[in-house]
Structure 1
Amino acid sequence: MSTLLAFDFGEARIGVAVGTTELGIPHPLETIAAEGNDKRFARIGELVAQWQPGALVVGLPLSPDGGEHEMTRLARKFANRLNGRFNLPVHLVDERFTSAAASSALDEAGLKGRRQKPALDQVAAMQILQAWFDSPAE
């Protein structure tokens, strides 16, 4: 059994989710909204120390047709930094439509509009981790 931390990378916020390979059920953890990479990576370091993950999962934003763009490049850079700082395997997962799925899930839970903002990124990270669990290649 291995614990995984998943990240929905954004320039303003990073959503974080956690789950185990044994259960294959992700849970939203938190949204990191700290300004500056040093503060963001310090918080991620605290989460890595607390949860002791065997691997990390990062959502890879792609255009609807699967093409790459600037946020794809930034997410890859973030994933490389995670690997370099924490010396853990980092898996990239196609995150197309995860924010829409997260918003829909929050709608169903009764959180609509602006009330979704505090939870949206971590629920998107949960969707990313679920996609990793569901991937037959993994």
Structure 2
Amino acid sequence: MRILGLDVGDRTIGVAASDALGWTAQGLEVIRRTTWENDLKRIRELVAEYEVSLIVVGYPKNMNNTVGPRAKLSEEFADKLSAELNLPVKLWDERLTTMEAERTLLSADMSRAKRKKVIDKMAAVLILQNYLQANPGK
């Protein structure tokens, strides 16, 4: 069983999945958000395709560890997703992952246009990889 990692934004959802052993995270895609039903449909397809047993959603807490409006939206998304898919959904601190993803893509000398297309997927990989490293064997 695999773990799915999601970087949920207003316009996109970056998606990553673990390998079968839960050691590494690989980027899958960026979902362009339209409606909750469409977002859910695509996530449901990925859950079935990759035999997902757990979903990790990025939790964008403020730098002072408080929960702001963006984090509240992630909480609501995670709750709805868990109820709809009948799967456990965990929130995982994602502070600075987008900046780390941007740095990684810049060091690869990727153009701004290409970075924009993959930044959310890369952030999802970092969120999931951080979760996997903190929770080995889960």
TM bucket normalised to smaller: over 0.9
Runs of 5+ unmatched residues, structure 1: none
Pairing of 1:38-77 with structure 2 (within 5 A)? 38-77=37-76
How large is the Cα RMSD of the aligned pairs?
A: 1.5
| Paired positions, count | 137
Given that 1:60 and 1:94 are in contact with CA atoms closer than 8 Å, whether structure 2 keeps it comes out as yes
User: 1:127 corresponds to which letter in structure 2?
Assistant: L
Runs of 4+ in 1 over 2 A off after TM superposition: 112-115
Query: Residue 120 and residue 9 in structure 1: after superposition, are their counterparts in 2 closer, same or farther (change >3 A)?
Result: same
Given that 1:6 and 1:125 are in contact with CA atoms closer than 8 Å, whether structure 2 keeps it comes out as yes
Please state whether the residue corresponding to 1:11 is helix, strand or coil: coil
- Name the residue aligned to 1:103: 102
Tell me the TM-score normalised to structure 2 length: 0.92
Matched, 1:86 2:85: yes
Runs of 5+ unmatched residues, structure 2: none
Render the CA deviation track for 1:76-134: whole Å, top value 9, x for unaligned.
01111111111111111100000001111111222132321110001000000011012
Tell me the TM-score normalised to structure 1 length: 0.92
How many percent of aligned residue pairs carry the same amino acid? Answer: 31
- Name the residue aligned to 2:112: 113
